[in-house]
């Protein structure tokens, strides 16, 4: 995939889909800024990339804080001179899953702050830089929960529907600026979020697999493949799209 020598930021890159994406980008020749709220996890991913001969650096950031997003973009441009690819992967789930009437305000506020507002902050600052340099590519990590109903999960669902909408709106606004913006919508994927759910509700494992036609969860590497493809020059005529990777669940 054509990402060689591109400068890419991946948020939430300390684990899961973010880590897999950072490694895939580096494997194909991109220079990757591994960004995560947890510096130790980000450094482990960057070290692994370096051991494999790739180029990586670490910049910690909490995407829910605008000043930290500003610094993330500014420090990347200061170090590398430009920003070619922004992968907005950082995301969280609620502490407690519940119906809307019983949903806590803390769970609503925290999830929306990271998953929705954080993506807006990162898109806003990345687009300022990409407009200046005359090119760019943004890939947002949404979810199957941003395309269909998700029970007892109102903040997560709302945030991921918002990511899909923001992706399409921004793609339309910047289509004439040589900037492409797309999203991927993973279904049930092996990740920290899924592990958290299954630790609370072990009975959900077989129930979830029963609604997936392929009868298995997705792998982080499989999602990363699609992200890097969208971030590459192989997809120069694709913008404003959502690619669903769910093993057929949405069928």
Positions annotated as catalytic residues are 156
Angle between helices 16-27 and 220-231 (to 10 degrees): 50
Q: Dump the DSSP string for 44-65.
A: HHHHHHHHTT-EEEE----TTS
Q: In the numeric block, which tokens belong to residue 3?
A: 């990402």
Element (H, E) at 33: strand 31-34
Element (H, E) at 10: strand 7-10
Distances (CA, A) of 132 to 32, 70, 129, 187, 204: 20, 15, 5, 35, 48
């Amino acid at each position: 995939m054509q990402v060689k020598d591109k400068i890419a930021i991946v948020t939430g890159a300390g684990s899961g889909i973010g880590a897999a994406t950072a490694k895939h980008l580096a494997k194909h020749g991109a220079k990757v800024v591994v960004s995560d709220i947890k510096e130790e996890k980000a450094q482990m991913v960057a070290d692994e990339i370096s051991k494999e001969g790739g180029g990586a650096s670490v910049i910690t950031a909490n995407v829910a804080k605008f000043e930290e997003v500003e610094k993330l973009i500014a420090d990347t441009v200061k170090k590398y001179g430009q920003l070619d690819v922004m992968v907005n992967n950082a995301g969280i789930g609620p502490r407690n899953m519940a119906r809307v009437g019983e949903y806590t305000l803390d769970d609503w506020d925290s999830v929306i702050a990271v998953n929705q507002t954080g993506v807006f902050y990162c898109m806003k600052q990345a687009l300022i830089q990409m407009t200046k340099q005359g090119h760019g590519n943004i890939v947002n990590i949404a979810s199957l929960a941003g395309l269909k109903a998700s029970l007892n999960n109102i903040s997560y669902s709302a945030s991921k529907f918002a990511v899909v909408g923001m992706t399409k709106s921004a793609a339309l606004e910047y289509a004439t600026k040589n900037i492409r913006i797309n999203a991927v919508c993973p279904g049930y994927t092996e990740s920290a979020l899924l592990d958290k759910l299954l630790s609370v509700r072990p009975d959900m494992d077989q129930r979830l697999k029963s609604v997936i036609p392929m009868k298995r969860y997705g792998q982080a590497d499989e999602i990363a493949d699609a992200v890097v493809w969208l971030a590459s020059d192989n997809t120069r005529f694709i913008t404003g799209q959502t690619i669903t990777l769910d093993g057929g669940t949405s069928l």
